[in-house]
Structure 1
Amino acid sequence: MKVLALKHFEFDDTMALEQWTSLGAHELLIVDPANGLVEAWLEAAELLVILGGPMSAYDDEKLDWLVEEKRFIARAIEQDKKILGICLGAQLLAELLGGSVHRHETKEIGWHRIERTAERHPWVDDLPEAFHSFQWHGDTYVLPKEARRLAESEACGQQAFAWGDRILALQFHLETTPACIDQMLTRWANELVSAPYVQDAAHIRSEIGRSSESFRMLHMILDRIAAS
């Protein structure tokens, strides 16, 4: 399967995605949307992965390239591509599918418990009913019409949704590596304020071993996507 991944910040570590594509003999192209997007990349792709980033989905006026990225993703939706959106990627999908994105009442940073809802979708059938995942977000989304809400947390009711059979959006980060987390804790330390759902750096580092299980769950999702 040919995979196109949109990566939004320099130190985002795509190791978990690279590992999966390598083990399955898939092809992976990673590009930064800020440097421009080529239509031929989308035509060749069988799966579009939209990764996270520190910007917001509503930053159109600040980031010219974000407007073009939205058009690019909209064309992927129109072409019925398989799409996986993560954090910012999930929020972009929510907006493009008719929902909206806004600042959440609380930030959610650290390792938080995710619980699946009663809604089902084959791409997440292998996930446990409850698990922990890394989170780093201050925005949330309004669920698009006809979307299935697949997961929630105590802090945020919108943690995952599916739209149709070929689009999956995850607010949480199964893909984040220990190296990337370490960079986030250093570069974005100002966000680690005292708040109910913001863990401090020591707490986050103490649970960093959860990354291995997160990668396993991400690979299960990707296996399901490849087989569909």
Structure 2
Amino acid sequence: MRIHCLQHVPYESPGAIRDWAAARGHSLGNSLLFQPDWNPHSLPSPGETDLLVIMGGPMSVHDQADYPWLTAEKRYILASLDAGIPMLGICLGAQLIAEALGARVYPAPEKEIGWFPVQGLPADQPGQIALPQHFVPLHWHGETFDLPPGTRRLASSPVCANQGFSLDDRVIGLQFHLEMQPQLLAGLIEHSQGELVTGPWIQSAEEMRTAAPAACQATQPVLEQVLDRLHRSAQ
């Protein structure tokens, strides 16, 4: 399977997604949108990609004035949706997909930063993907989205009703970071220290680091479940 990843900042890389792909013999290419010389013409055509992965980042979907490449990325996401390419969006990536599907993206009631529980919701029909009833992924987001038309809610939490959505189990958006690894978390903390203020849903850097090894290991099967389902959609 040919996987292509859209990456918005150097420190939010595919992480455990890369490990999953390597273990199964899939190729994984990257478009580093943050690089000054990045050219949207370098993006593969939809027919050259079996799975599109859209990573997170500190910017908003509305920040095109500050990040002009967002305009080209949004066009590419729309074209990939129209072509029926299976897709996974993580945090900002999920928000970009939600917007492309016609949903509103806006500030959440509270910023959510740290390892916090998420409730997976049951499938509507047999055979649909259903996340575990209870798991604890890493969150690092201050915005959320309405549930896009035609999708179903995959997960929820007390502070964020729409933690994830699925469109026919072919397009999946997740507010949280199942790809997280301890070294990725270290990069997030290093580059986003200013966000670690006192708040009901914000953990300290030390709390997050301490929990990371066990928490990353515990969420690995959830990531594999999502990616395996998208792999089946790509066949």
TM-score (norm 2): 0.91
Counterpart secondary structure, 2:111: strand
Equivalent residue of 2:135, what SS?
Answer: strand
1:135 aligns with 2:139: yes
Q: Which deviations, in whole Å up to 9, do the C-alpha atoms of 1:130-186 show, x marking residues without a partner?
A: 100000000111111221111111111110001234111011100021111112222
CA contact (8 A) 2:115 2:139 kept: yes
Match of 2:120 among 116, 119, 124: 116
**Counterpart in the other structure of 1:36:** 39
- Please list every run of 5 or more consecutive structure 1 residues that lacks an aligned counterpart in the other structure: none
8 Å contact kept, 2:169–2:229: no
Please state how far the C-alpha of 1:123 moved relative to its aligned partner. Answer: 6.5
- Contact 1:4 / 1:42 at 8 angstroms: preserved in 2? no
How big is the shift at 1:119? 4.0
2:86 pairs with 1:82: yes
Corresponding residue for 1:225?
230
Unaligned segments of structure 2, at least 5 residues: none
Which of 54, 57, 75 pairs up with 1:53?
57
User: Is 1:170 aligned to residue 170 of structure 2?
Assistant: no
Q: Match for residue 200 of structure 1?
A: 204
- 1:212 aligned onto 2:217: yes
Q: Give the letter aligned to residue 11 of structure 2.
A: F
**2: distance between equivalents of 1:185 and 1:17?**
20
Separation in 2, partners of 1:48, 1:42: 9
SS at match of 1:129: coil
With the length of structure 1 as denominator, give the TM-score of the two structures: 0.93
The DSSP-based 3-state class of the residue aligned with 1:98 is coil
Query: Secondary structure of the equivalent of 2:137?
Result: strand
* 12-21 or 186-195, larger mean C-alpha shift: 12-21
1:11 aligns with 2:11: yes
Contact 1:13/1:176 (8 A) holds in 2: no
Q: Deviation of residue 33 (structure 1)?
A: 2.5
- Range 86-95 or range 184-193, more displaced: 184-193
- The RMSD of aligned alpha carbons is 1.6
Q: How far apart are 1:120 and its partner, in Å? A: 4.5
Question: Is it true that 1:65 corresponds to 2:80 in the alignment?
Answer: no
- The number of residue pairs the alignment matches comes to 227
Q: CA deviation at 1:18?
A: 1.4
For residues 96 and 51 of structure 2, the distance between their equivalents in structure 1, rounded to whole angstroms, comes to 16
CA contact (8 A) 2:55 2:90 kept: yes
Question: 2:27 aligns to what?
Answer: 27
